Every structure is written in structure tokens, then in C-alpha cells.
Amino acid sequence: MRKIERRAFVCLVLAGLLLLGLTFFAGEFLIKGGSWASSAFNRHLYNNDGVLTSGTVLDRDGDVLSSVDEDGNRTYYQNETVRKATLHAVGDLQGNIGTGVLNAFADKLTGYDLVNGAFSAHQGNTMYLTIDARYNYEAYQALNGHAGTVAVYNYKTGEILCMVSAPSYDPLNVPTDILDNDRYKGAYLNRFLSSTFTPGSVFKTVTAAAAIEKLKDYDTRTWTCEGSVKIGDDTIICSGTHGEETFAQALANSCNVAFAEMAVELGADTLASYTDKAGLTNSYSVSGLPTAKGTFNFDGITDDQLGWAGVGQFHDAVNPCALMVYMGAIGNGGSAAVPKLILKTRDNLGLPASLNLTHHTRRLISAKTADVLSELMANNVIATYGTDRFPNMDICAKSGTAEVGSDQRPHAWFAGFLRGDDAPYAFVALVENGGGGASVAGTVAGRVLNVIVNGY
């Protein structure tokens, strides 16, 4: 008997495996339960058409962006342009826009919780987003039908005040040709969170940070621009002929020649490490939504390629959100709050239904370098872009005009931040194939900032 008893441990092994697997499942259940439940086929949270049956989405000052009427149909904001401007934040009815809160936060919106499951899901929660419908409206209008993205966030609290992605469409009136018409190409994508683009000259803020720390005499040296320079086998072409210029002038002129020479002098490894440090290859979690990682290629490249990479061309691709966070970090002395989209969630009794903590990034740039770079970026506005376009703002910025192929107009970029405790905002504006960065994207950014800061 004892002999068989000893052999019977195989039964205990089986029993142990069952318990182990059950523990694993329970763990997964606790961690992933919310997202398992948030599947469009879950009839406890969605109706037969896959539309979320409860939950109200509001903007930061209480304008209802989406709710459910008495018949159980999902409603949106009355104004069509606001619907388009907030589509990527709110989400559509078909579940095509994965980053919209209706799809990504179905559990939080319906009041799903681990103990009760979906039992009280028909009552629904109230979710306040950090965005303001008005700012989104202005930004969408400013893009004026172009593809692109505009975002503004508070780099101290992380709250995203404005987040627009275009092209967009009316969720209550989905265009029938949405899949065929080039106008709607990539309309399901939230470009701010999920896309990467060639940065062009806005990347010079990274090259500049490396130069400030690695080139000892950067502030006394001068560079000479003759419109182009031959590096290796290629010629780096500049937007103008800038002559002899200081570091500050080179940045304000956005001089490709000076920055390509700097990039070669710094070397690929240095530039790669500063790109990583700036967080441009990171993925951030925006209230749980992951951002796309930027991609760069510094491995085994030739000097001319390095020159182009140093001015934000070559294989550089940056995510608008990551760039905005880097701007926030420069403005905030080295690190910034991670952006968030959910301001607060309330259950039907008005009690808080989720934690929305503010997280901070690691140090993206040293405090000293951030100060120096801030001054230089403020000088960009004074010297090149014009301060009168940004009234009542202590603004620091960098424009970019990213070449994306000889047959297309370049992407226009404008990114930066405001200084001071009253308006601690970082921003990014991208107009795809928009043309000149400062003129086109700068105007878009100016218009949105004007509404936020000055109210008009």
C-alpha cells in the first residue's frame, strides 16, 4: 500500500497543475478582466449592433460629447464640426477607432468592476475627458481640411487640452466612400497617438541638446552656410544661404548646413543616445492608450546619411505625442508629466470610479541644457517666427519642414511650449503636406494657443 501511496504523487502533480493553472487564470482575470469584458460582442456592455449601451463622455468643462438616449441609442454632440473634431478622442459606433474612449475604456464607462462584473453596466458611469470641445473645434477648423494633428497639454499636470486628428468624419453620418476616397485615408487612425512622421527641423532640438552638452565651444563658435555643403558622397542642401552664423542664429535660421556638420562632429552614437534620452523612441501610456514608438536608424550609417539624420530627415520618424512631451520636458526643466486623457470618472452616485494619477517622465534632458535650449527657442520666435503672432505668450518653439518625397509638398511642423506657471502648455502641430513649417503649422498652433491663453 505504502508503495502505491508513494506512486500516487502523480495524482497530486495533476491536482497541483490544475490549481496552478486556475491561479494563473484568476490572475489574468484580475488584470485583464476589464479589457476582456470590453469586447464589442459582449452583450452585457454592448447592444446587438456592437454599440456601448451606457456611459456618458464629457469634455473638461462638462459639455456632453456622447451619451445614451432613453431608447438606448448612442448620441453625440450636436455640432457636426465638434463631432468631427472630437471623433478620435470619443470614438465611433462601429469600433473602428480603437483609441476612442467608447472603445478603449468601455469598462470604465459602463461601470464594470471586478467584484460586480457588468451587473450595474446598464446604469453607466460619467467620464470627463481632459480635452475641451472648443479648443478641439478651433484646432480642427485651423487645419482647414488638411490631414494632420494638433495637440496641447499641460506639462505640469499631464492634462491634454486639445487633441485633434484629421482627416476625420461625422460618426453619426459615416461617409459611404470612407474606405475608397483618398480624403479619408487613415481616418480611423489617431495620428497624435498612433502614427509616426518624418520630423524635419523640429528634430534639431535634439541635435542642439547634444551639441550644447558635447561641443564645449558651441556658444563661441560660428558656422558658415553657403546654401549647401558636401558631406561624404552627398550634398546637404539648406533652405537658404545663411553666411556666417552663431549657434543661436543657426537654430533660428534652421540651418541644415550647420546642423548637419554638428551631427557629423557629434557622431552617430551620441545622436542616437540623445534621441533615446529625449524619449522619442519611447512609447507613453496616455491614460492606458499606448503611443507609437518613433524609429531612427543610426547604425552603420555614412557621414552624409548622419548629416541628414541630424536635421530630421533620412530614416527619422517621430510620434507627435512623444515630441510634445519632449517639448514639455524642456519647458519644465528636464522632465514633464505624462499626458492623460481622462480627467475623472464618476459612478451614478457621483462617487469617483477610477484613479487618474499624474505620472512623470524620467529626465529627458538635463536641467541646465533645458534652460539654455529654452532661451534659444524663445529667440527662434523673436528672430524668425514673430512674437506678434503669439500675443501674451512667453513662447519657445521650433518649426519643421519635413521633406517627404520630391513629388509631395513637405510636412509642416510647429512644436514648442509656453513658459510660466499660468500657462504651462506644450504643443505640437503637424500639417501633412502643408508646406512651410513656421508659416502653415505655426499659424495653426497660434490660433489654438490664442483661444486657450487669450480666449479668442
Site residues, other proteins (CB under 8 A): 1-12, 14-15, 17-19, 21-22, 24-26, 28-29, 32-34, 36-37, 39, 41-45, 112-119, 121
Q: Cβ distance 378 to 396 under 8 Å?
A: yes
What minimum distance in Å lies between the beta carbon of 103 and other proteins? 14
Q: How far is the CB of 27 from other proteins (least distance, A)?
A: 11
> Judged by CB, which is closer to other proteins: 29, or 226?
29
Q: How many Å apart are CA 409 and CA 401, to the nearest integer?
A: 9
What is the spatial distance between Cα 263 and Cα 275, in angstroms, rounded to a whole number? 12
Q: Which helix (H) or strand (E) holds 35?
A: helix 9-37
- What distance in Å separates the CA atoms of residue 398 and residue 438, rounded to the nearest whole number? 8
Cβ 102 to other proteins shortest distance, Å: 17
Q: Which three cell numbers stand for residue 206?
A: 535634439
Taking the least distance from each CB to other proteins, the nearer of 95 and 307 is 95
Cell numbers 456632453 correspond to what residue? Answer: 64
Nearer to other proteins by Cβ, of 15 and 172: the residue is: 15
In the complex with other proteins, the residue whose CB is nearer, 34 or 333, is 34
Reference 278, options 415, 177, 446, 186; nearest CA is 415
The Cα-based distances of 330 to 17, 36, 281, 308, 442 in angstroms read 52, 39, 17, 24, 19
Q: Least distance in Å: CB of 101 to other proteins?
A: 19
C-alpha cell at 233: 558622397
- Cα dihedral across residues 401, 403, 408, 411: positive or negative: negative
Q: Are 99 and 341 in contact (CB under 8 A)?
A: no
Which residue, 15 or 367, has its beta carbon nearer to other proteins? 15
Comparing CB distances to other proteins, the nearer of 23 and 358 is 23
- SS3 state at 234: strand
Residue 109 C-beta: closest distance to other proteins, Å: 14
Provide the minimum distance between the beta carbon of 73 and other proteins in the complex, in angstroms, as a whole number.
Answer: 20
CB of 252 to other proteins, least distance (A): 49
Quick one: 290 or 420, whose CB is closer to other proteins? Answer: 290
Which residue, among 145, 179, 101, 142, has the nearest Cα to 345 in the 3D structure? Answer: 101
Q: Which amino acid is at 263?
A: A
**Minimum separation from the CB atom of position 52 to other proteins (A):** 14
* 371 contacts 334 by C-beta, under 8 angstroms: no
Closer to other proteins by Cβ: residue 4 or 355: 4
